[in-house]
């Protein structure tokens, strides 16, 4: 990467949301960034021989920071981006999947309509849930919006809602971090899934072959799997077909 003066850039500027979202991104008491995203970005910057710099900002500012050149890279799904043609996406890094969670087994029909009928669902008040919108519009289910500072799993245990809609890694992290021993059931299939990538500004066009090569090696070597496992506090990820957590 070259800066405007033609000198080789030494820094990789990563735009991150300033809201704590473990296990994806959070800060320690020493204000150090930790989590799946920072540690993966650290691995990539190491392989590119660049120093990683964090640029905290609101969620809505991530894409704009790339467009105006303030940041080099952020972490998003192409499906969440508005100006796709103005940005560059790495090869997919891993799958982001959202499941329903319950204290009771799910209907074996495997149909979301049967899972959601006449149920309340705890959701983050500042998030969008396109896969659930039609169920709310049709009055099949009712949303209970809560602050991002509240652990959704605790609301489920207190029976503030019948179901949770949550990313699988986030759910496992909450269950393990809170030491929850009660069995929590997961729907047999995700309501939404998308591939997450690193998203770069256009100036990185000539570097993308190298970026993708380094990401492929990070995955092949097992480093990506180790980062995920460490951050959700498990020695092994559950079988994707599992429908309960013990």
The answer to whether residues 230 and 223 touch, using CB atoms and an 8 Å cutoff, is no
Total-model pTM: 0.86
pLDDT at 239: 42
What are 52-94's pLDDT values in tens digits? 999 999 988 999 999 999 999 999 999 999 999 999 999 999 9
Residue pair 75/162 in contact by the 8 Å Cβ criterion? no
pLDDT of residue 169: 95
Tens digit of each residue's pLDDT (9 = 90 or more) over 178-231:
888 899 999 999 999 999 999 999 999 999 999 999 999 999 999 999 999 999
Tokens describing residue 199: 């998203």
> How is 121-189 classified by DSSP, letter by letter?
EEEETT---HHHHHHHHTTSEEEEEE-TTS-HHHHHHTTS-SEEEEEHHHHHHHHHHTT--S-EEE-SS
Mean pLDDT value across residues 167-182 = 91
CB 178 within 8 A of CB 151: yes
Full DSSP string of 28-46: -TT--EESHHHHHHHHHHH
Residue 12 reports pLDDT greater than 50: yes
Q: What is the pLDDT of residues 123-164, one digit of tens each?
A: 998 788 989 999 999 999 999 999 877 889 999 999 999 999
The full set of domains in the chain, from first to last, is 11-94+194-231 (3.40.190.10), 97-192 (3.40.190.10)
pLDDT for the residue 236: 42
Q: Is 114 exposed, middle or buried (0-12, 13-18, 19+ CB in 10 A)?
A: exposed
Q: What angle do CA 174, 81, 173 make, to 5 degrees?
A: 10
Q: What is the pLDDT of residue 234?
A: 52
């Amino acid at each position: 990467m070259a800066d405007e003066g033609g000198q080789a850039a030494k820094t990789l500027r990563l735009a991150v949301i300033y809201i704590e979202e473990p296990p994806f991104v959070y800060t320690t008491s020493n204000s150090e960034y930790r989590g799946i995203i920072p540690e993966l970005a650290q691995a990539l910057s190491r392989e590119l021989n660049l120093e990683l710099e964090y640029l905290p900002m609101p969620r809505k500012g991530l894409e704009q920071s790339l467009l105006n050149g303030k940041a080099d890279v952020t972490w998003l799904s192409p499906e969440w981006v508005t100006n796709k043609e103005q940005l560059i996406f790495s090869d997919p890094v891993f799958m982001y999947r959202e499941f329903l969670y319950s204290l009771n087994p799910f209907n074996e029909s495997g149909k979301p309509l049967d899972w959601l009928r006449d149920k309340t669902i705890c959701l983050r008040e500042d998030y969008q849930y396109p896969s659930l919108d039609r169920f709310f519009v049709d009055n099949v289910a009712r949303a209970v919006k809560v602050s991002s500072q509240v652990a959704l799993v605790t609301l489920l245990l207190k029976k503030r809602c019948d179901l949770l809609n949550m990313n699988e890694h986030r759910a496992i992290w909450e269950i393990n971090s809170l030491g929850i021993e009660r069995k929590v059931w997961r729907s047999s299939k995700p309501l939404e899934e998308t591939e997450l990538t690193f998203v770069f500004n256009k100036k990185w066009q000539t570097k993308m072959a190298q970026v993708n090569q380094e990401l492929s090696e990070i995955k092949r070597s097992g480093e990506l799997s180790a980062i995920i496992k460490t951050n959700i506090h498990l020695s092994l990820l559950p079988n994707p077909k599992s429908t309960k957590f013990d």
